[in-house]
A = this chain, B = another copy of it.
Amino acid sequence: LRAAVALTVVLAGLALGATLARADAPGHGDTSGAATAHGAASSNSQGATSGNSHGAQTPTSGATREFVTAHRREILDEFMHLLAIPNIASDRANMKRNADAILDMMQRRGLSPQLLTSRRDPDAPPIVFGEWKVRNAKRTIVLYAHYDGQPVNPADWATPPFTPTLRTAPLEKGGTVIATGAPSATDTRNAADAATDAETRLYARGSGDDKLGVMVILSAIDALRATHRTPTDNIKVVFEGEEEAGSPHLANLLTEHRALLDSQLWVVCDGPVHPTGRKMVVYGARGDMNVDLTVYGPVRSLHSGHYGNWAQNPALNLARLLASMKDDTGQVLIPGWYDDVAPLGDLEQRAIKEAAAYDDAIKQELGIAKTESDRSLPAATTVPSLNINGMRSANVGDQASNVIPDSATAVLDLRLVLGNEPLRQYDKLLNFVRSKGYYVIDRAPTMRERLEAPLIANMKLRPGVYAAARTPMDNPLAHAIAAAIRTSSDQSVIELPTSGGSLPLSIIEKALGTPSIDVPTANYDDNQHAPNENLRLGNLWEGINTYTALMMHR
Pair B381/A409 contact, Cβ less than 8 Å: no
A322-357 interface mask toward B, CB cutoff 8 Å, 1 = contact, 0 = none?
111010101010000000000000000000000000
Given contacts A367-B298, A500-B305, A529-B304, contact A390 B380 (CB under 8 A): no
B403 contacts A300, C-beta separation under 8 Å: no
Given that A310-B375, A451-B367 are known contacts, is A530 also in contact with B401, CB under 8 Å in the complex?
A: yes
Q: Indicate if A492 sits at the interface (CB-CB under 8 A).
A: no
Q: Which of B309, B375, B395 contacts A386 (CB 8 A)?
A: B309
**Which of A285, A290, A328, A369 has the largest number of chain B CB atoms within 10 A?**
A369
Which residues on the B side are within 8 Å of A499 (C-beta)?
305-306
* A453 to B369 CA separation, bound complex (whole angstroms): 6
With a cutoff of 8 Å between Cβ atoms, the chain B residues found around residue A320 in the complex are 319, 322-323, 328
Question: In the complex the two chains form, is B454's CB within 8 Å of A372's CB?
Answer: no
Instruction: Point out the residues of chain B lying under 8 angstroms from A395, CB to CB.
Output: 151, 153, 156, 389-390, 392, 411
A452 interfacial contact with B, CB 8 Å: yes
A323 to B314 CA separation, bound complex (whole angstroms): 11
One complex includes copies of this chain to the number of 2
- Asked if B300 contacts A172 (CB within 8 A), the reply is yes
Q: Is A36 among interface residues, defined by CB-CB distance under 8 A?
A: no
Does A20 reach chain B (CB closer than 8 Å)? no
Which A382-437 residues sit within 8 Å CB-CB of chain B?
383, 385-405, 408-411, 413, 415
Q: Does A37 contact B (CB under 8 A)?
A: no
Query: Do B366 and A300 touch (CB < 8 A)?
Result: yes
Q: Find chain B residues with CB under 8 A from A304 CB.
A: 385, 387, 389, 413, 415, 529
Count of chain A residues with a beta carbon within 8 Å of a chain B beta carbon = 102
Given A372-B313, A451-B367, verify A400-B308 contact (CB < 8 Å): no
A523 interface hit (Cβ, 8 Å) = no
A509 at the interface (CB under 8 A from B): no
Q: How distant is the Cα of A332 from the Cα of B400 in the complex, in angstroms?
A: 22
**Does B402 lie within 8 Å of A150, measured CB to CB?**
yes
B residues within 8 A CB of A445? 367
A238 to B93, CA, bound (A): 57
A48 contacts chain B at the CB level, 8 A cutoff: no
The smallest beta-carbon distance between A151 and chain B, in angstroms, is 5
A251 at the interface (CB under 8 A from B): no
Known A309-B387, A389-B403; contact A397-B409, beta-carbon cutoff 8 A: yes
B-chain residues with CB within 8 Å of residue A302 when the two chains form the complex = 366, 530
Q: Which of A272, A307, A405 lies at the interface centre, i.e. has the most chain B CB atoms within 10 A of its CB? A: A307
- Alpha-carbon distance between A299 and B320 when the two chains are bound, in angstroms: 26
CB distance from A32 to the nearest CB of B (A): 27
- Check B364–A451 contact: CB distance below 8 A: yes
A152 to B403 alpha-carbon distance, docked (Å): 12
Task: Give complex CA distance A367, B326 in Å.
Answer: 31
Please indicate the chain B residues that have their CB under 8 angstroms from the CB of A309 in the complex: 330, 332, 372-373, 375, 380, 383, 385-387, 415
Complex A-B: 12 CB contacts under 8 Å: A304-B387, A304-B389, A305-B381, A306-B500, A309-B372, A311-B372, A312-B368, A367-B447, A367-B450, A367-B451, A387-B404, A390-B401
- Minimum-distance CB pairs A-B, first 9: A305-B501, A367-B450, A301-B530, A370-B454, A299-B367, A390-B394, A308-B385, A310-B380, A315-B388
